[in-house]
Structure 1
Amino acid sequence: MENKAHAMAAGAFVLVVTALLVMLAVWLTRDNTQRNLYEMSTGESVSGLQPQAAVRFRGVPVGKVELIGFDTKVKGNVLIRVSIDRSAPVTKSTFATVASQGVTGLGFIQLDDDGSSPERLVPNDEDPPRIPLKPGGLDKLLKQSDVIFDQVEQASTRLNKLLSDENQAAVTSAITQLGEAAGSINRVARGLEPTVATLPGLSRDATVTLKSVKTAADDVSTTATRLNAKGGTLDKLSDGGTALAAGVETFSAGTLPKLGEVADETARTMRQLRRTVNAVDDNPQSLIFGNGPPVPGPGEAGFSANGGKK
């Protein structure tokens, strides 16, 4: 009887401890966070994403994946249902991508917002609103893989052409010519060494010449200053030019009119003298007897057609 009593006590103790452990596990794993349901539909692959996977908003955990199945509204699409904390800023401009966790490759939902609409997305657990699911970086890489492979193939073909025997021979010839050119440059450099050695002397001569030019320029500057100084040569020339202009103006105003009058009078006298000389040439006797009375003209008494008196 005592053995049965001990066995029953041990069994009861085990049951009580088991119940306490279950209650403790339930208490530790309880989740009182209030969440809203949202859905995502995509025609892309969601490999690596599992139920209970994390949902993060810009890296901050805000929920988990509740269900992964097929979309009954869009044929062929995959439907993902997630629960997100009510405090998460889910707006109409929020979008989702499927990302991978480091080296494990486990997928999770990454939420982000482009900021185009600050209006919050109204939750409805009976008909959950949908968040756009955009292709992630891995999906974009897979889509571009064909293009990348084509580019790699083209690059490989061009590299093979570049490394052909003809191109290798051309490169070898170019390197040989480059070596010859370098040798020529070295020979020219050795030929220029005597000239380079004379450069310090030329530099000293050039310095002396420049000093002489500077001295001459200073002398010219000094001379120009003296010429332009008040009472200097240019000032005196200016005063002489002014006096000359005044004399010319006085001569033009006073002397020239008088010279004009003398010239007119001389011209009249010359005309009178010319008439007198002509009259003497026609009648030399007039110098002794005078001109006499004038010859009668036509219609006057004593007129004669031969020029004589009747």
Structure 2
Amino acid sequence: MENKSHALAAGIFVVVVAALLAGLGLWLTRDRTDYTLYELSSKDSVSGLQPEAAVRYKGVAVGKVTRIGFDPKMAGNVLIRIAVNESAPISPTTFAQLGYQGVTGLAHIQLDDADAPIQPPPPGDSGLPRLTLKSSSFSQIAEQGPAILAQVQEATERINKLLGDENQARLALTLDNLAKAAGSANTLVQRIDNTVATKLDPALATVPAVAQDARATLQSLRTAGDNAAAAAGEVRSAVAKLSVEGGPIDKIADSSQSLSDAADRFGRVSLPRLNNAADEAARAARRLGRTASGISDNPQSLIYGNGSASAGPGEPGFVPPTRLAPAP
């Protein structure tokens, strides 16, 4: 009897202390801020955005998300209701955008100002003012991904067409003609030199300065011909290196294919994993809420556990112990 009375007193004490702590926590965490309600309507996906998510104005927390649903006026649009501190400098140039926190996939509402006033959307059925919700950078990248891949594919096809067999044959023919022209120029220089040496020596002897200049000019022409032939050889070698298997052209094609594969893996693997991480975090929060609610509804479970305890004196269902008969 006495042990049960002590247990009852301890249970009442725990309940009272828990109620006091809960009241103290509510008093300390009560929100006295005055909020102004706004609505946002978006046709884009809002994955990672949850109720109670933060609303930030240029990085400063100024409110929270109060509701996420569907817009009854525009089929397929998501309707987001936010509460913004009245002290936040909301102006006709203010617009909203989804922001993401690192690699967790959790989203929040980011408010910012444009350079010029923005015409706000008309209010909905609730009559609350609406802010313009622009697409986030992440959404824009996801939308532009197919266009980027298409441009890379088109560039690759043009490079392959430019370096096709027919164009390579034409380039090789041009280099051969250039080499032949250089050889002809070298032969012409030799003939001029021979003519000057055999037939114009008497005349050149009378004008040694002119002869010296002519020889220097002929030597320059010979050097130019040799340089042209060397340049033609180098160009032919460079074209051969570009066309060789595993060369720069093949590496460009491989890099383009790797970029296409990376974008495809990002769309098929990374995005689903980010969405799964956000769903797991939401489920963990709901489990924690259910546990706290169970303890608040049945605080004596901290002492007796989840099972029901026997009734004590004065409680319905109490059965006094049976007195043992004295021994004869």
TM-score, structure 2 as length reference: 0.46
The structure with more radius of gyration:
1
**Structure possessing the higher relative contact order (Cα contacts under 8 Å, 6 or more residues apart):** 2
TM-score by length of 1: 0.49
